[in-house]
Chains A and B, each alone.
Chain A
Amino acid sequence: MTESSQDENITLFTYSEIEEVKGFIGNFEVTIRKKARSVDMSKCTGCGECQQKCPRKIPSEFDMGLGNRKAIYTPFTQAVPNVPVIDREHCTFFTKGKCQVCSKVCPTGAIDYEQQDEFITEKFGAIVVATGFSPFNWTVYGEYGAGKFKDVITGLHLERMLDTSGPTAGKVIRPSDGKEAKTVAFLQCVGSRDPSKGVPYCSRVCCMYTAKHALLLKDHVPDSQSYVFYIDIRSPGKNYEEFVNRVQEESGAIYIRGRVSKIYQKGDKLVVCASDTLLGEPVKIEADLVVLASAMIPQPDAKQLAQKLKIPCDQFGFYTEVHPKLEPVASVTRGIYLTGSCQFPKDIPDTVAMSGAASVGVCSILSQDEMTIEPRIACVDETRCTGCLNCIEVCPFNAIEEKPINGKVLAHVIESLCQGCGNCCSTCRVRAIEVRGFTDEQLYCQIASALEPI
């Protein structure tokens, strides 16, 4: 990350959002909103004095609420750039009008409470979308306590606890009483493969990270015992199956096939009830900690971003590619590439591979002066066009623009954007717009010869 921030050919816009995207492949015009950081990036040296002195403590999002952060903060220690941001919702100065400790302690005077959102418009040749995923809200499961049991956590919580520089310094504890967890139940497919909860797909990474957690748990707490409740172990990948087998043999994790039916509290323990479907018998364990492998779902604003970028997405909000096998990283809108979990749940090796493919796709566009495009695109017969411009409304790719010719405003097809779908042709009342190779005349001839008696 640091390397990319120092590269002279890379400009990072952090703490920024896309407001509007105009144009087409090679000529994207993107309006970026640089959110008010309240810290002057050119003055800040990243000394961290402000973060130490800030009196306000807020549960840290990065540490899943297990630790605290200040109102002026960087999300995590390795964050790039190492410039903090003031959380205006929680900052005492912004909420109550008093404090200003950070500006008093800042040796360079970088704190700027008056800073406003800044809008900049820049031109880009291509776009790679890598907005990632968000975790599924598992509290919809009443049978797992609906969030009431403190010791029912998700894999991300455990991941933070296993981090030696994390909020618990590598100790695996029960959030309710801070005691070390000895018996840990891992529940897989929480949300995933559950159409009744709106997530029918497999989240793909949970089997492997649960196996990793079981192994790490044994390292961190040697006298612990983990139970993994699964439906199927999905471990397709290089050395994945071997890894899962190693976890079962070495760390002694007990894999039980069956989804957990309910969790209830008994004393300070959590009783996990399931059925071992291989044995055909119900199973019960008293666990200290329950770790849920909750599903991966798209970002909450994924569909709005799709509208801004004019790229299609599926019913869940995952962006769709041109072809799942032949063009897995290109979106239907030319010049926009997809990578990471914004497309579908992906693990790290897949994300790295597809990011490489996406960046090569971008390079192949930017390295040429001219582009070869598909010949089957719409073209306007300017002698016929009346300028009603109904075609602009129906074009899903925004490939038609207005063009003034001899005092009239007529339709004009942007060739690099047109995908040849034919929506405009069927809408045009005067047949002024036609797809090359699929003119009305050609289609009528085809129909006529198909209907000819043999």
Chain B
Amino acid sequence: MVVLPEGEKVQSFRNLIIERCGEDVGKCIQCGKCSSGCPLAVEMEYIPNQIMELIRLNQEEKVLTSNTFWFCASCQTCSIRCPHDIDIAKPLIKVYPSSTRSFSILSKAMDGYMNWEWLPGSISQPGNP
């Protein structure tokens, strides 16, 4: 169940993405070309177009705890093929690791699986785990 916040608060995650990497998910028309071209979409909890939709619906926690980022191979096929020229891979590669909030959420998600303390540096330098 997605519960949408009232008033303008719903734009906060979308605005954060614009601020961080200049990509506006508001342009997305949900054609699904990104997801159908993604070689790893079958493994993902939320496929790329659903990530765009979730960002638009301000579902920060759902986005950051999904396994999509861990399967993303950074091949950028989605970005190249997007008919509205949204660099879809950018939010996936850059925003996620550089968000401090994502680490706190991530720490809960990854707790017990591995020692995640090495992640911040590792992700922010090459760009993707």
Complex: A183 Cα to B4 Cα, angstroms? 11
A223-B7 CB under 8 A given contacts A276-B53, A279-B2, A282-B2: yes
User: Can you list 8 A-B contacts (CB < 8 A)?
Assistant: A183-B7, A225-B6, A225-B9, A245-B29, A249-B26, A252-B11, A256-B57, A278-B49
Whether the Cβ atoms of A224 and B7 lie closer than 8 Å is: yes
What's the nearest-Cβ distance from chain B to residue A397, in Å?
Answer: 49
Query: For residue B26, which residues in chain A have a CB less than 8 angstroms away from its CB?
Result: 248-249, 252
Residue-wise, chain B 17-37 has the 8 Å CB interface mask toward A (1 for contact) of: 000000010110110000000
B10 at the interface (CB under 8 A from A): yes
A257 at the interface (CB under 8 A from B): yes
**How many residues of B are in contact with the other chain, CB < 8 A?**
23
* Residues in A neighbouring B10, C-beta threshold 8 A: 225, 254
Q: Is there an interface contact between A227 and B4, defined as CB atoms closer than 8 Å?
A: yes
Interface flag for A204 (CB, 8 Å): no
Q: A182 to B7, alpha carbons, bound, how many Å?
A: 6
B114 within 8 Å of A (CB atoms) = no
Decide if B54 is an interface residue (CB 8 Å cutoff).
yes
A415 at the interface (CB under 8 A from B): no
CA distance A223 to B11 in the complex (A): 11
Interface flag for A284 (CB, 8 Å)? yes
The total of Cβ contacts below 8 Å across the A-B interface reads 64
Kindly identify which residue among A227, A245, A278, A284 contacts B1, using a CB–CB cutoff of 8 Å.
Answer: A284
Separation of A249 and B27 alpha carbons in the complex (Å): 6
- A sample of 9 more A-B contacts (CB under 8 A), given A278-B50, A282-B2, A284-B2, is A183-B6, A223-B7, A225-B9, A225-B11, A245-B29, A254-B4, A276-B57, A282-B1, A285-B4
- Give which listed residue, B2, B7, B24, B27, contacts A281 with CB less than 8 A: B2
Is the beta-carbon distance between B8 and A283 smaller than 8 angstroms? Answer: no
Residues of A with C-beta under 8 A to B14: 252
CB of B75 closer than 8 Å to a CB of A: no
User: Is A286 engaged at the interface, CB distance under 8 Å to the other chain?
Assistant: yes
